[in-house]
Structure formats: structure tokens, C-alpha cells
């Protein structure tokens, strides 16, 4: 075996105990607020679009969704981790189901999961304690902890964009344990990965429902209204008031990082995360001087730009951070914005009183992430670039210093993604993106459901 395994961080001793009924209650609030609750199983069809309502947890700034699974069905709240390769749930927390099946080593399920291990277990048999069952390494990407876990399948219910439910009788996922729950928002019992693997949500659902392998991400900035992930054909997303968001999207290739960025990986394994080719950064039209080598992914998989829903604020390598901050402050002074003492973890902060507000947030210098040719860029307005520290009357540039040699030079985080519509097409390996929907006088909380296309 040519297994090349990076070390697994040792498991923490403490574990968060989760009261199941509390989890269910929150979960119901999350789901029932916007969706019709018709309980209809859909037959396989080729124009299905599935939807994951996503709510921001105000305490942890994590993006949380929910599914129903098992027999009998129970609601499970999960962290949205778009780059992660598979779904995992806590199988130690009252996982009771008459329908789960461990994936036997060397089976086609294990091949699909691209598992490289075969697990045995001497404890009492259960969803995460089986013999001759293949394994994966579920990762809690909030605390960067990975453990081993069995691959199993079970009934999972997904919501359709039409308000129905769609049942997958044998959905493949992995098991985590209580030791993998630290740092996750209250009531959360696992994570759901939309990454680029065969058992990642887009590809697994695409083969079950015969739909296009793509998903769209639209995160709400408000903890009291849902954003969404859509999986499937799309092309017909309507936002109030009558805006077809799928039109007029910019596009840039999705790049495959040849080296896995996961907590545990094997030699030759590519990354399941979504990288894009930022070639320069402009602030109010002026290019920021950066070492362009950092924007490329090298042979070891280091460098480049990725999109992450588990990083609350965009994190950039130190030299890029310094340049961007310097140029931004200069452009801000030209706009008569008044600098004030920094509020951690941010560096460039300004008095709110010195900044006008606009439809797209505070009127601050515009940041463009430029891709390849100059005419493709992701424009970042104040609503996404700035973070309000209300009690101090301050707004700060919402960038954090990612250190001197981070694995990925630019990690575009949640705050910068909010109220932007992003469509990840795995078949063509293209990202289509809208920039701020506020510019079009709508938000990610304004999706209109219920109508057949």
C-alpha cells in the first residue's frame, strides 16, 4: 500500500452533548418557515432541483442546514462545508435506524466512496462499529480534526424546489463520533459536503435523480432568514421581485487542486474543494502589487484561491494582506473615510459616521477579484467587504491575516459570499457568479418556491 497519511490531530477529551429534542425543535423552525410541508416521494425525473435551506448561526457564524434521515425519520442539523467530499453524521448520538447498511469492503459502494481502508470493530455493533466495512476520514473543518469513520448508507430525505420531498433509500455517507462535534454550532450533528467527489452531494444526487451535477449557493446575511443551496438543473431561479438570477452571471473556470487539502489524504488524491483562478486584485480600479506565485497552485497543492463556507471572513496570506490593506486605506482616505483604532481580528477600521451608505452597503473603495483576462472580475461592494462593529460605531475591512505560508493563499469566506449567487457546474468545471444581489435590489432570502418550471 502506498498510503501517505498526514497525521490526525489527537481527539479532544471533552465532547459536546446534544439534546436531541432541542435539535429537532430548532431544526423545525429552520425548515418550516419557508417550505411547504408536503410529504410526497418523487419518482426519478430529470428536471428535479433539490434545495437545502441554509441558516447562519449568529454565535459561531457557521452556515447550517438540515436533512431528514433513518427509519424512523429524524431531523439532523448539519454544517454546510461546500468543499468537503462527503456527508458525515454523528453516529454515536442516538443513531437508531432499522435501515442503515454498512458498506462491505471491496463493494461497489466502497469504490464509489474511494475508500482506501477496511475497518474492524471490537465494540458493540452499531452504525459506526462494524467488521469488514470500508472507512473514510470525516473532518470537522472548524477545529481541523479528522477521525476514522465507517461508510454506511441509509434513507435520506431531500427537499425538492417544488415543496415536496425526494427520498434516497441508500444514500452513502460516513460516521463521525461525539469527539468530532467540538466547535460546531449548538444542535449540529455532522456536516454536509458539496465537494468534488463521487459521493459528494452534487454527484451522488445527480446519479440518483439523473440531474445535472451542479449546485448553486446563495447565503443569506441574516441569521433570521434562510439562504439556500440548490442541487440540480436550476436555470430557473426566481427571486422576488421577479428577478431571474441565472441570467447575466459572469463565469470563470473551476480549478482542480492536484493535491488533497483534506485533513487526511492519500498520495495522488485530488482536492474536493473549489479553487478559482484569481490573477490580480484591484481596488478602485488600481491593481494591488502581489507576488503572483502565491496565486498559482504549485506541485504540492500549495497556493491559489478557494471558496469556503467554513471560514467566516476571507483569509489571505500575510504579504497579500499587507498590500491589500495598505492600498485600501489609501483609497479610503481619498474618499475622506476616517481611520480609527483597529478592532480585532481586523486591521483597517473606519468611523461609520465618515461613510455614506448605499444600496450595496457602506460606500467604500470597490475591490475586484480579477480572473485571467481583465474583463472577468468578481466585484466586491461594501456589504461584502466591510464588517460593522455596531457598538463601536466602526466598520472594518473584513479580511483576516492568514499567516506567512498558508496552504491556500486566498480563502474566500462566508461574509464575502453572502447575497452573491454562485453556481458551481461540475460537468463543465465552471463557476458562474452574480456579484452582490443587493445591486439588483434583492437578496438570497428572496427565493420564490412552489411553482413548477
Ligand X SMILES: *[C@@H]1O[C@H](CO)[C@@H](O)[C@H](O)[C@H]1NC(C)=O
Contact residues for ligand X, defined by CB under 6 A: 120-122, 125, 129-131, 143-144, 291, 293-294, 315, 406-407
Shortest separation between residue 323's beta carbon and ligand X, angstroms: 11
Shortest separation between residue 349's beta carbon and ligand X, angstroms: 21
- Judged by CB, which is closer to ligand X: 69, or 140? 140
Shortest separation between residue 273's beta carbon and ligand X, angstroms: 11
Rg, the chain, Cα only:
22
Shortest separation between residue 142's beta carbon and ligand X, angstroms: 7
DSSP state of 288: P
Residue with cell string 460605531: 393
Instruction: Please say whether the beta carbons of 332 and 299 come within 8 A.
Output: no
- Judged by CB, which is closer to ligand X: 225, or 323? 323
Shortest separation between residue 120's beta carbon and ligand X, angstroms: 6
- Judged by CB, which is closer to ligand X: 83, or 202? 83
Nearest partner of 97 among 70, 59, 136, 61, judged by Cα: 70
DSSP state of 8: P
- Judged by CB, which is closer to ligand X: 284, or 296? 296
Shortest separation between residue 250's beta carbon and ligand X, angstroms: 27
- Judged by CB, which is closer to ligand X: 20, or 131? 131
- Cβ atoms within 10 Å, residue 415: 21
Q: Cβ neighbours of residue 266 under 8 Å, at least 6 residues apart?
A: 2, 3, 4, 5, 116, 260
Pairing of strands 274-276, 250-255: antiparallel
- Judged by CB, which is closer to ligand X: 150, or 418? 150
CB-based burial label for 131 (10 Å; 0-12, 13-18, 19+) = middle
Shortest separation between residue 320's beta carbon and ligand X, angstroms: 10
* Phi, psi of 347, deg, nearest 5: -120, -40
- Judged by CB, which is closer to ligand X: 95, or 237? 95
> Measured between alpha carbons, how far is 353 from 331 in angstroms, rounded to an integer?
17
List 388's β-bridge partners, or say none: 395
Shortest separation between residue 5's beta carbon and ligand X, angstroms: 17
- Judged by CB, which is closer to ligand X: 78, or 294? 294
Residue with cell string 473551476: 254
List 287's β-bridge partners, or say none: 282
- Judged by CB, which is closer to ligand X: 75, or 413? 413
Shortest separation between residue 449's beta carbon and ligand X, angstroms: 35
Shortest separation between residue 62's beta carbon and ligand X, angstroms: 13
**Grid coordinates representing 202?**
452534487
Range 98-107 burial, b when 16+ CB lie within 10 A, else e: eebbbbbbeb
Q: Cβ neighbours of residue 174 under 8 Å, at least 6 residues apart?
A: 86, 87, 88, 113, 135, 136, 138, 149, 150, 151, 152
Pairing of strands 314-316, 227-232: unpaired
**Grid coordinates representing 336?**
475622506
- Judged by CB, which is closer to ligand X: 31, or 411? 411
Pairing of strands 101-102, 214-218: unpaired
Residue with cell string 449546485: 215
Amino acid at each position: 500500500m502506498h498510503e501517505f497519511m498526514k497525521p490526525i490531530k489527537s481527539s479532544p477529551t471533552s465532547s459536546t452533548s446534544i439534546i436531541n429534542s432541542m435539535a429537532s425543535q430548532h431544526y423545525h423552525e429552520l425548515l418550516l418557515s419557508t417550505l411547504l410541508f408536503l410529504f410526497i416521494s418523487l419518482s426519478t425525473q430529470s428536471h428535479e432541483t433539490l434545495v437545502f435551506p441554509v441558516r447562519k448561526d449568529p454565535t459561531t457564524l457557521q452556515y447550517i442546514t438540515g436533512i431528514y434521515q433513518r427509519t424512523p425519520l429524524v431531523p439532523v442539523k448539519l454544517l454546510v462545508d461546500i468543499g468537503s467530499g462527503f456527508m458525515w453524521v454523528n453516529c454515536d448520538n442516538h443513531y437508531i435506524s432499522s435501515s442503515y447498511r454498512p458498506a462491505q469492503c471491496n463493494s461497489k459502494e466502497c469504490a464509489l466512496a474511494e475508500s482506501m481502508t477496511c475497518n474492524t470493530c471490537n465494540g458493540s455493533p452499531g452504525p459506526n462499529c462494524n467488521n469488514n466495512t470500508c472507512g473514510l476520514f470525516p473532518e470537522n473543518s472548524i477545529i481541523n480534526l479528522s477521525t476514522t469513520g465507517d461508510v454506511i448508507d441509509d434513507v435520506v430525505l431531500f427537499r425538492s424546489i417544488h415543496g415536496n420531498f425526494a427520498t434516497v433509500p441508500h444514500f452513502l455517507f460516513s460516521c463521525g463520533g461525539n469527539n468530532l462535534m467540538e466547535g460546531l454550532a449548538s444542535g449540529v450533528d455532522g456536516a454536509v459536503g458539496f465537494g468534488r467527489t463521487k459521493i459528494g452531494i452534487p454527484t451522488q444526487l445527480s446519479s440518483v435523480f439523473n440531474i445535472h451535477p451542479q449546485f448553486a449557493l446563495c447565503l443569506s446575511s441574516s441569521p433570521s432568514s434562510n439562504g439556500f443551496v440548490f442541487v440540480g438543473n436550476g436555470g430557473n431561479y426566481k427571486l422576488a421581485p421577479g428577478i431571474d438570477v441565472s441570467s447575466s452571471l459572469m463565469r470563470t473556470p473551476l480549478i482542480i487542486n492536484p493535491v488533497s487539502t483534506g485533513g487526511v489524504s492519500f498520495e495522488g488524491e485530488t482536492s474536493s474543494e473549489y479553487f478559482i483562478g484569481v490573477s490580480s486584485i484591484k481596488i478602485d480600479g488600481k491593481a494591488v502589487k502581489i507576488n503572483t506565485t502565491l496565486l498559482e497552485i504549485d506541485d504540492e497543492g500549495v497556493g491559489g484561491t478557494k471558496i469556503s463556507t467554513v471560514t467566516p471572513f476571507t483569509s489571505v496570506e500575510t504579504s497579500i494582506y499587507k498590500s491589500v490593506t495598505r492600498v485600501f486605506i489609501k483609497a479610503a482616505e481619498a474618499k475622506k473615510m476616517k481611520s480609527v483604532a483597529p478592532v480585532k481580528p481586523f486591521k483597517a477600521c473606519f468611523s461609520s459616521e465618515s461613510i455614506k451608505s448605499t444600496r450595496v452597503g457602506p460606500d467604500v473603495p470597490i475591490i475586484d477579484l480579477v480572473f485571467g483576462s481583465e474583463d472577468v472580475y468578481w466585484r466586491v461592494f461594501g456589504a461584502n467587504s466591510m464588517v460593522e462593529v455596531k457598538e463601536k460605531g466602526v466598520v472594518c475591512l473584513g479580511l483576516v491575516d492568514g499567516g506567512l505560508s498558508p496552504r491556500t493563499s486566498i480563502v474566500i469566506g462566508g461574509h464575502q459570499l453572502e447575497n452573491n449567487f454562485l453556481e458551481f457546474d461540475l460537468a463543465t468545471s465552471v463557476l458562474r457568479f452574480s456579484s452582490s444581489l443587493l445591486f439588483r435590489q434583492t437578496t438570497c432570502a428572496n427565493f420564490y418556491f412552489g411553482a413548477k418550471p
